[in-house]
Structure 1
């Protein structure tokens, strides 16, 4: 039986996967309004992140290559963020000596991740400008999800609903200060969050 700390560590892999999947869905949604408009009728953005029944994995190599070849600055920004997430996951699995498939098949880790990061489908009726505006809001949600991961790692507990004001105060304090941690997982998450925030700020020029 896994300890709560082990479940938290595993759930973070699921959360990072979920964030990357939503980013990819949005990137294709934007691309379908521009350079990939001809593909729009054949495959919905959600199909690119369709999970396998057993492993909840989705193949991204060809999709990333395709998206990265496009000229759209918004798509390129999202792709850069996705690459950050996958590099984080590679290092995170390594330093925690985790097997990716074992973690993705773990029901307890999956259940916790769903509680923290709910899945909201992309609205297919949104136009290009509306999708960009929604993704700006999503980046704030991505960062709050990662912040919750940091809190869980540091405090070894899951529920922070009783002190939301303190939760948000500490989040905004982090945004204003160069915070780090001696905990290897928290330090890695701090770095990820800060680089994703830079991406979010850069979206003002879309």
Structure 2
């Protein structure tokens, strides 16, 4: 089984999402000891933001492409191949300005590839990355899940659920630490709650899909 561990926080050792992804991966390995883990740190290995050159054909074809298009194509190919090879993806997604880090968005832009992770059909779009399990470590300084106003301002978990669903992934689980900026007691409570959520997320993954991957 292949697990892809992705971090995107810019705050290093102070990052709650990085703490949570480590805990999720450790819990997963304890449950599935033969899992092979690869780590992608988007703080140090992020693709450039999406450009016209990055929209060049991504099938490995170099004929007719500029040097810049060939370079960008290679970056996209590396990232989508790594994503498609994974059975489980653990994503650290802190809440920045009501959404996700730009580094994580840049990665998603690179793996959103027609013919690789989705395709358009006469019946509408179809995801091509079915059967994977995604566990998102979501960290938030405030509280956004407990009120209609907060939910309306939230474009982090909602966006990730939509984009992974667009890729055909229906098993998307969230481990949320919310209110971590509201003082020491709120932070401690959020991290305590996250531990319970990790146990549920790891135990509740799509067992049928995982059995096929094993």
TM over 0.5: no
Q: Normalising by structure 1, what TM-score? A: 0.29
Larger RCO (CA within 8 A; separation ≥ 6):
1
Normalising by structure 2, we get a TM-score of 0.28
Higher strand share: 2
Bigger helix fraction: 1
